[in-house]
Structure 1
Amino acid sequence: MTATTTTSPPPGLVIAPALPDLMVAPKIRRGAIGFLRNHPTVAIGGALLLLLVIIGVFAPFLFTVDPTAIAPAKRTRLPSADFWFGTDALGRDIYSRVLYGTRVSLTVGLSVALAASLIGLTIGLVAGFVRWADGVLMRCMDGLMSIPPILLAVALMALTRGSVGNVILAITIAEIPRVARLVRGVVLSLREQPYVDGAVASGTRTPMVILRHILPNTTAPMLVQATYICASAMITEAILSFIGAGTPPTIPSWGNIMAEGRALWQVKPYIVFFPAAFLSVTVLAVNLVGDGLRDALDPRMAKSP
């Protein structure tokens, strides 16, 4: 058995104490839960948006009545236990109309975001990578962007009948140039990368170069842009309905409800307040999701784990 011997330092020298570990191992959070914890903005916005989707889907089961039922004897009732949000000038239950209006706004916002993103992505990819098509496509996009989206949507709605489908089509046409411009700018920077030049030099066809090397790198900025388009589309739909150029008055939408209550705003402000509050919360939720995704997908703004 050997005894452990400790050597003493030479005269005039001492052994320094061990330094603390300054490089603490980061806590890596994986999965959806970890992503939401690292990006609480996405979690808050997603929770609000999910709640609104549930309200829209299950509106018939949330103590609502027929949103189009007219009851002149019960018109302009104040919010109470019988009418949670009150009634409008025709006696219709505002609570029911606001909850059913959630369907219209979410349908318009999500449909416009999806359609405008897909069409704008295709145009941006072709314009950014195919040089001879860039001038033609971008001049068309510049022409559309020179017209304010609201005026363009109003002009398109004036040529068609008022319906949710026509509203989606009109707003989509006005939003396509925004996505096309963004994707084109990303593609212009990507097509000069060495791996793209290597793919072209190896004989890879242009469609495959776009699908394999260009498209995956445009997904992140396009996804963030789609959230802002969704919020903008819901606001535009409310504006069109408010001025009478959107969905028909028979369809309960937040814009229609506010338009019908503006004449009684000074004496019955609740008619406008509740749909306006729902619209504001919905747009806020979508913008929170967009801001959170931007921080998460942009490496320059991403938070350290």
Structure 2
Amino acid sequence: MASSTILPTEANVAVAVPMPDILPPVKQRRGFFGFLRRNPTITIGASLVLLMVAIALFAPFLFTRDPTALAPALRTREPSAQFWFGSDMLGRDVYSRVLYGTRVSLTVGFSVAICASLIGLTIGLISGFIRAADAVIMRIMDGMMSIPSILLAIALMALTRGSVGNVILAITIADFPRVARLVRGVVLSLREQPYVDAAVAAGTRTPVIILRHILPNTLAPLTVQATYICASAMIAEAILSFIGAGTPPIIPSWGNIMAEGRALWQVKPYIVFFPAIFLSITVLAVNLLGDGLRDALDPRMAKRV
């Protein structure tokens, strides 16, 4: 072998040939870009999500028109150079409406994910660590989870006026019990750890134990769960708008566009096809990001060199 070759030196001292590097340099294995190379699912999902965010932010500069402008003389035009995605039965540009609809879906998805995660995290921490409150809180959560989330959201929307804010509120109320149950399960396993027992024996107050020892260990599964909530919230918003229980028809959302085009589906399928494609790509991107984060944050599933 090359490693056993002896090279003579002027001092008559034998020196072994340097061993080849088995591992790449540290700078190639660590850092942000190294993390992305080791987790291609996160890279693909995050790239698609960032693309959708860019479309939502820069929609006015992407050759769009007023998404609510009516032009009856130009209704139901096929996709062409004038109307890239065609026009609907009122002459509105489907391309502009789809791009502006990205704002509604992302706003609902991100808002529901943040609100449901914060509410569920608070309830889960209290229920999981304080035994006296666990029985009461979890029975309430079980009762809410016994109702399908979309039906609960429809019932809540029936009591309020259609708006983006009310859609966010309804879907948040339907989703946060699942976050609370997830966090509670994590806390139940953490509170039996030796370092928690040591903190209790040392006289550390309960809020300090929760914030210092319990909360940091719940953030990884909570982050993964938040991505799934974001994806399901966008689907729920589209369903609510599709059946007329979500955002007002004047607001260009993907669910409203598909609802307006379903009557012409057999003769003008592009009215439904383009918003459905954008919704599918966005949900797929968020789910890929969630799967990648799960693999990266779970030490049992993380890839090792």
TM-score (norm 1): 0.93
Partner of 1:119: 119
Q: Per-residue displacement from partner, 1:97-146 (whole Å, max 9, x unpaired)? A: 00000000000000000000000000000000000000111011001100
Q: Per-residue displacement from partner, 1:168-202 (whole Å, max 9, x unpaired)? A: 00000000011001000000000000000000000
Partner of 2:23: 25
Secondary structure of the structure 1 residue equivalent to 2:226: helix
Partner of 1:82: 82
Aligned counterparts, 1:62-73, within 5 A? 62-73=62-73
> Aligned partner of 1:114: which letter?
I
Partner of 2:54: 54
Partner of 1:234: 234
Partner of 2:7: none
Partner of 2:102: 102
Q: Per-residue displacement from partner, 1:279-304 (whole Å, max 9, x unpaired)? A: 00000100010000000000010011
Change (3 A) 1:5 1:30: closer
Change (3 A) 1:168 1:4: same
Partner of 2:275: 275
Task: Tell me how far 1:24 sits from its aligned partner.
Answer: 2.9
Unaligned runs of 5+ in 2: 1-9
Secondary structure of the structure 2 residue equivalent to 1:250: coil
Unaligned runs of 5+ in 1: 7-17
Matched, 1:208 2:215: no
Q: Per-residue displacement from partner, 1:58-99 (whole Å, max 9, x unpaired)? A: 101111010001110000000000000000010000000000
> Aligned partner of 1:263: which letter?
A
Partner of 1:15: none
CA distance in 2, matches of 1:30, 1:115: 33
Task: Tell me how far 1:246 sits from its aligned partner.
Answer: 0.3
Partner of 1:291: 291
Secondary structure of the structure 2 residue equivalent to 1:47: helix
CA distance in 2, matches of 1:140, 1:39: 39
CA distance in 2, matches of 1:220, 1:30: 20
Identity %: 79
Task: Tell me how far 1:33 sits from its aligned partner.
Answer: 1.1
Partner of 1:256: 256
Task: Tell me how far 1:3 sits from its aligned partner.
Answer: 8.1
TM-score (norm 2): 0.93
Larger radius of gyration: 1
Query: Across the two proteins, how many residue pairs are aligned to each other?
Result: 292
Partner of 1:152: 152
CA distance in 2, matches of 1:253, 1:122: 32
CA distance in 2, matches of 1:27, 1:116: 42
Secondary structure of the structure 2 residue equivalent to 1:80: coil
Aligned-residue CA RMSD (Å): 1.7
